[in-house]
Homo-oligomer: A and B are copies of this chain.
Amino acid sequence: MGANTLTPVIRIQREDFDLAAEIAAISAGRRDIGAVVSFTGLCRDEGATLAALELEHYPGMAEAEIARVAAQAAARWPLMGLLAIHRYGLVKPGDQIVLVIATSAHRRAAFEAADFMMDYLKTRAPFWKREHLADGTVGGWVEAKQEDDDAAARWT
């Protein structure tokens, strides 16, 4: 199965996800995969100052935009599987926020595709984080970072 027939799995959900189950599903019945790269993004406690992150998203566009990014990755690398899950709602320190899995015959394609997906997810997927602080107050909206734009620009 080459890039032409790859159907990326995209899910935007409030619920947590299970990395092992997702890898098992994306690899089921195949013996041609040589490399599986996963990225899991977690909520950090920011030196115990953070109680939770509130993730707002643009329903519909979030799925559509991640699907567009995934289609670019599938066109660029010889992938066998590609998955992206992004949560919304309230997440606490230690909780999972985002998962990307890329599988390929060889490691370079899997590493680069997962890395690319995350850079583009960060800068193009319509999600916004707001901080809920440990002192009980609601902090500000997290500001976008120049380094994320710079990271995404590596692929152009």
Measured between beta carbons, the chain B residues less than 8 angstroms from A77 are: none
Contacts A31-B93, A94-B31, A111-B111: A40 and B44 contacting too (C-beta < 8 A)?
Answer: no
Docked complex Cα distance between A151 and B31 (Å): 25
Evaluate contact between A38 and B38: CB separation under 8 angstroms. Answer: yes
* Identical copies in the complex: 2
Evaluate contact between A35 and B45: CB separation under 8 angstroms. Answer: no
Contacts A118-B107, A151-B108: A44 and B37 contacting too (C-beta < 8 A)?
Answer: no
Measured between beta carbons, the chain B residues less than 8 angstroms from A37 are: 37-40, 114
Select from chain B the residue with minimum beta-carbon distance to A21. B20
Measured between beta carbons, the chain B residues less than 8 angstroms from A44 are: 31-34, 105
Evaluate contact between B31 and A41: CB separation under 8 angstroms. Answer: no
Q: Interface readout for A92-114 with B: 1 if CB under 8 Å, 0 if not? A: 01100000000001011011001
